[in-house]
């Protein structure tokens, strides 16, 4: 088949997936796909419409009808702008309210089916660095390179706190962030449909003590090694 290569990056919240995937895509001239932003956008819409989080029928209908767009932008803070039904929700989908509800909505089968279908259509020609929870196991199981990024809960909470400080958001304690991250890890990895799991053929990259450039360099290196084997 003449599809371009796909790099799948999965892992828990705060492991560095978005930052690193973006940088890998830039270095290799590939397109970056943030699948988490799609689950966040649906969650934002559900909350905005006042639909109950457990109303699976109404949410399924919404997921099947909505239009999600991920549009590259020049803004370094938000290099991809996220739109749902022609509303720019780039900032709104990062709110605490969306973050604390997204795992419940992402666990719903119909939501996953609708979004995975969209991801498949974007990935048809390849040339992608896609990141999320189920990219290597479920969305693109034939990806040429699969990376499973991890870091300890305390390291991930520390990173999130730094992000909040940089964005001028209200102070959240490290203990609270650790609890939130551990809870989301648990929900994402124990759900029935497409749980967060390391694919059998994924390379695990532990990022404690490594900066973004070091992790990016490791992944680019793995990619080049794979390329030389094809
Ligand atoms: O950036 P962060 O790791 O906080 O989360 P995200 O990648 O924006 O994903 C938000 C949530 O969407 C995750 O906690 C998962 O519940 C869900 N998600 C998923 O189920 N499958 C994906 N491929 C991506 C995200
Ligand atoms: O997408 P995910 O939730 O996995 O993580 P992220 O949003 O890309 O990264 C969370 C924060 O950790 C960002 O501010 C990154 O710059 C930072 N980070 C880091 O300090 N060291 C790394 N090796 C990776 C990310």
**Distance in Å, CA 132 to ligand 1 centroid:** 6
pLDDT reported for residue 1: 60
Residue 15 CA to ligand 2 centre (angstroms) = 6
**Is the CB of 18 within 6 Å of ligand 2?**
yes
Buried b (16+ CB within 10 A) or exposed e, 194-225: bebbbbeebbebebeebeeeebbebbeebbee
Ligand 1 centre distance from Cα of residue 82 (Å): 14
Does the pLDDT value for residue 119 go beyond 70? yes
Question: What pLDDT score was predicted for residue 227?
Answer: 87
User: What strands lie across the sheet with 6-10, from one edge to the other?
Assistant: 31-34, 128-132, 6-10, 145-150, 203-206
Mean pLDDT, residues 33-42 taken together: 97
Q: How far is 117 from 42, CA to CA, in rounded Å?
A: 15
What structural domains and CATH numbers belong to the chain?
A: 6-35+102-229 (3.40.50.300)
pLDDT recorded at residue 137: 97
Residues 45-62, mean pLDDT to the nearest whole number: 98
CB of 138 sitting under 6 A from ligand 2: no
Does the beta carbon of 137 sit less than 6 angstroms from any atom of ligand 1? no
Read off the pLDDT of each residue in 122-134 and give the average, rounded to a whole number: 96
Ligand with an atom nearest the CA of residue 76: 2
Answer whether residue 67 shows pLDDT above 80.
yes
Question: CB 125: neighbour CB atoms within 10 A?
Answer: 12
Question: pLDDT tens across 77-94, in order?
Answer: 778 999 999 999 999 999
ipTM over cut 0.85: yes
Say if residue 122's pLDDT is above 90: yes
Point out the ligand nearest to the CA of residue 36.
1
Query: Is 185 within 8 Å of 196 (Cβ atoms)?
Result: yes
Q: What is the pTM of this model?
A: 0.96
């Amino acid at each position: 088949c003449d599809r371009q290569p796909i790099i799948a990056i999965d892992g828990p919240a705060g492991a560095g997936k978005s930052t690193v995937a973006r940088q890998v895509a830039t270095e290799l001239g590939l397109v970056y796909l943030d699948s988490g932003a799609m689950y966040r956008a649906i969650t934002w819409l559900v909350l905005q419409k006042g639909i109950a989080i457990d109303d699976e029928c109404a949410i399924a209908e919404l997921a099947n009808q909505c239009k999600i767009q991920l549009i590259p932008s020049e803004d370094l803070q938000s290099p991809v702008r996220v739109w749902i039904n022609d509303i720019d929700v780039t900032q709104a989908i990062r709110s605490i309210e969306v973050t604390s509800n997204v795992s419940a909505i992402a666990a719903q089968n119909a939501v996953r089916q609708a979004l995975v279908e969209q991801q498949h259509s974007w990935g048809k020609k390849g040339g992608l660095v896609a990141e999320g929870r189920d990219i290597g196991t479920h969305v693109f199981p034939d990806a040429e390179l699969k990376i499973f990024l991890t870091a300890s809960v305390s390291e991930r909470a520390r990173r999130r706190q730094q992000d909040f400080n940089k964005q001028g958001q209200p102070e959240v304690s490290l203990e609270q962030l650790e609890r939130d991250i551990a809870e989301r890890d648990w929900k994402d990895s124990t759900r029935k449909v497409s749980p967060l799991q390391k694919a059998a053929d994924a390379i695990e990259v532990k990022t404690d003590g490594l900066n973004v450039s070091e992790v990016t360099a490791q992944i680019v290196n793995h990619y080049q090694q794979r390329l030389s084997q094809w």
